[in-house]
Chains A and B, each alone.
Chain A
Amino acid sequence: MEVTTDKFIEGSRTAIKDEHLQKAIHKATSLSVRERDHAAAEIPDWEELREKARNIKQNTIERLDEYLALLADSVEKAGGTVFWADTAEDATRYITDLAVARGVKTVVKGKSMTSEEIGLNERFEELGIEPVETDLGEYIVQMAKEKPFHIIAPAIHKTRQDIGQLFADKLDIEYEDNPEKLTKIAREKLRGKFCDADMGVTGVNFGIAETGTVVVVENEGNGRLSTSMPPVYVALMGMEKVIPALNDLSTFMTLLPRSATGQKASCYVSFITGTRNVGEVGGPKEFHLVILDNGRSRILQDPEMRESLFCIRCGACLNICPIYNKVGGHSYGWVYSGPIGAVITPQYVGLDKAKDLPNASTLCGACRDICPLRINIPHMLLNLRHKIAEGDKTTGVSKPKSKWAEKAIIDLWVIGMKSQRVYGLGHRVGLVAQKVFLRNSKMKDRLPLLSGWTEHRELPPLAPKPFRDIWKERLSKNGG
């Protein structure tokens, strides 16, 4: 997918001014949070499950190469083929080569953020192969030629009127904006695609090393159809999605649907292991598991950042984030948005291209509170800010330099802060500067940082006497 992470500030300004969009985001996310809170409250040992899930992921990630080896072994024993994709190009080349070799004309796709990461649809289209997004939200954004707006609900920025108009324009039908009717239209239009498709591609929620099983979680049934009707099925899995044992799943399947949509269980959970049995009707005759690195191993290099790979893509952090709720998913400029996006996107596309993402946060920590695996997003954002400011020692990849002016200011400021006298002097200078520069109120609105402040808030004055002087003069004598 095209990277536009450097357009964050522009994008966020546009989003904030769009009242229509703000209403749509707020409606969707506030409902999601309420539903999630209700569903989590039903589980008395929710906190213990979070801890358990975290430990499973931690153990797996720390020995990732071994669990991936076991996963591959299990898949192969079940009649599947494993392809190891170091880069996005490796993955797309393998899948498109396979499609060409099998004479594939149409591919039906279950929801896969990883496929957007590698730009798979574009590669198919270049070869004259039709990739059909079948998840309703993805179907809508594909039709609109937009990026997904949210990890779970790709079209949540669109109202029913937007979608009705889109369908009317692109499908050449009468305008209709009732959600039920629009949903039926999508079902009818896509039915034939499932039947005719020569290949199905989906993402993977969990890859079970013990058995070689890929787990696909969904509500619509398009995942089931994509994995059951075409003769060839390609499961595209980010390598961090592997978990050790089948028994580990019950922990995750309690946390994931409740965190994502407030459901006790998603409508369909499919355990797919290898190819169909001899004589079986439905299911893949060929099963390919493409295991994708694409920069994940670079994330592993810094032990502090490894937990960014624990994410199970529930989207809860997006729903609760005060920044996401104002700027929306498109501002983040790539596949993954919200708090988790702010952490992983810079690591994938390069810190120098995505400097705004870790910085555009108040570090409030609501994301960590709601995350089913308690991923410490605020601490990782601080870590990324550190890498931006002082260079990235662990990976030595693209050493971005912070603005020299900013570093100079910080250095000066630190020198000042090391001396109580300079600090005190600074206050006195500030008092004078305040009188001089702010006497003319127009100044306030022109000075670079200050104008940002004063656009929304009154500027407080420096106190005539700092506390330390007051203490010395009055307070230290009594009851010291």
Chain B
Amino acid sequence: MTSGSKNIRASIFITCLVDMLYPNVGEAMVKVLRETGVKLDFPADQTCCGQPAFNSGYQSQARDLAKRFMSIFEGDEYVVAPSGSCTSMVRVFYPELFKDDPVNLRKAQALSSRVYEFSEFLVKVVGKEEVGASYRGAVTYHPSCHLLRELGVGSEPKQLLSKVNGIDLRELPDEKQCCGFGGTFSVKYSDISGAILDTKVKNIKESGAEVLVANDSGCLMHISGALTKQGVPVKAMHLAELLAMKGNDGSHD
């Protein structure tokens, strides 16, 4: 389904974690999307979508940030983010936040229909599963919870991964089990978070993969933190980074 991808324009919603901690993920996403012909821009005023405030119950504050966000991305044809949880904040929870405010509700609903997570954007909007990526090795995929259950994105990442040249895709045992990140949960309830994470790490080891791929930097930060601390020789990578690879030496060209 290669339909007029030359005419697709999208604005990048970079997300705080990628912006401040993993900008290479942003770069990889830009590269992959541009190679499929998508025209990109980056609204420089963007900051946070407000999810941390919302998840902690501070809805008035989240509303402030949401209004700002909506005006920055108003009128954009598509908005694409390298994160399932940030995308679900905008798509699912912005309309919830404004359910008593008809004017902003309309804006939120309009934005809802235009905001996409990176992998679903590639498959559903651009219509591509094969993006010219190449990686020889055993890779396993962890579906982030908001991506899977709030956005319903389950098969798209796997479709994209299966088309990576040379890939040895391994199943992750109990893949749908949460990794235990949950934003501030990971520090407020760190014992529980760590215990849940241990199970995820155990399953990653069992998969026999050398690389763990996910679409959310929160999960990746949390999982890779434990992999490193436990000395497990598995590299955690964002899907965009893997799809930008043209060979195992990490070259992107």
Complex interface: stretch among A60-68, A333-341, A382-390, A435-443: A382-390
Q: Any chain A CB within 8 A of the CB of B149?
A: yes
A418/B47 in contact, CB under 8 A: yes
Q: Which of A410, A413, A418, A467 has the most CB of B within 10 A?
A: A467
Q: Does A407 contact B (CB under 8 A)?
A: yes
Interface-centre pick from B65, B145, B228 (highest chain A CB count, 10 A): B145
The answer to whether B225 and A460 have CB atoms under 8 Å apart is: yes
Binds B, one of A205-213, A263-271, A354-362: A354-362
Known A457-B222, A460-B221: A413·B192 in contact at CB below 8 Å? no
Central interface residue in A13, A387, A419, A423, by most chain B CB within 10 Å: A423
A406-B56 contact given A362-B180, A366-B178, A411-B61, CB 8 Å threshold: yes
CB distance from A338 to the nearest CB of B (A): 14
Q: Mark B166-200, 1 if CB is under 8 A from A, else 0.
A: 00000000001110111101111111111111110
In the complex, what residue of chain B is closest to A464 when comparing beta carbons?
Answer: B23
Chain A residue at minimum C-beta to C-beta distance from B60? A390
A455 engages B194 (CB within 8 Å): yes
B45 touches A420 (CB 8 A): yes
- The 8 A CB mask of A318-329 against B (1 = contact, 0 = none) is 000011001100
Count residues on chain A whose CB falls below 8 Å from chain B CBs: 67
The interface size bin for chain B is 35 or more
- B124 smallest CB distance to A (angstroms): 21
In whole angstroms, what is the CA distance A366 to B54 when docked?
Answer: 20
Q: Which of A12, A386, A407 has the most CB of B within 10 A?
A: A386
Q: Which of A191-199, A217-225, A468-476 is the contact stretch?
A: A468-476
Q: Are B57 and A388 in contact (CB under 8 A)?
A: yes
Write out the residue numbers on chain A whose beta carbons fall within 8 Å of the beta carbon of B176.
366
Contact A360 B68, beta carbon cutoff 8 Å: no
A145-160 to B contact mask, C-beta < 8 Å, 1/0: 0000000000000000
Expressed in whole angstroms, the minimum distance between the Cβ of A403 and any Cβ of chain B is: 11
The one of B48, B197, B225 that contacts A417, using a Cβ cutoff of 8 Å: B48
Give chain A residues whose Cβ lies under 8 Å from the Cβ of B189: 9, 12, 356, 359-360
With A323-B196, A427-B20, A468-B14 in contact, is A387–B57 under 8 Å at CB?
A: yes
Cβ contact within 8 Å between A468 and B55: no
Q: Identify which of B36-44, B102-110, B205-213 touches chain A.
A: B36-44
Contacts of B41 in A (CB 8 A): 476, 480
Are B53 and A414 in contact, with the CB atoms below 8 A?
yes
Inter-subunit contact B47/A420 (CB<8 Å): yes
Our pick among B148, B186, B192 for the contact of A16 (Cβ within 8 Å) is: B192
Mostly helix, strand, loop or mixed at chain A's interface?
helix
A16 to B23 CA separation, bound complex (whole angstroms): 36
Q: Are B61 and A475 in contact (CB under 8 A)?
A: no
Residues of A within 8 A of B96 (CB): 379
**A54 within 8 A of partner (CB):** no
Identify which of residues 334-387 in chain A touch chain B, using a CB-to-CB cut-off of 8 Å: 356, 359-366, 368-369, 379, 382, 384-387
B118: shortest Cβ distance to chain A, in Å?
Answer: 14
Residues of A within 8 A of B19 (CB): 466-468
Cβ of B191 and Cβ of A12 under 8 Å apart?
A: yes
Question: Residue B59 at the A interface, CB < 8 A?
Answer: yes
Q: Which residues of B contact A417 (CB under 8 A)?
A: 47-48, 50, 65
Q: Can you list 7 A-B contacts (CB < 8 A)?
A: A359-B189, A452-B186, A457-B221, A462-B21, A465-B23, A468-B19, A480-B40
7 closest Cβ pairs, A-B complex = A457-B225, A362-B182, A389-B57, A452-B190, A456-B194, A385-B57, A365-B149
A residues lining the B interface (CB < 8 Å): 9, 12-13, 16, 322-323, 326-327, 356, 359-366, 368-369, 379, 382, 384-390, 402, 406-407, 410-411, 413-414, 417-420, 423, 427, 430, 449-450, 452-453, 455-463, 465-468, 470-472, 475-476, 478-480
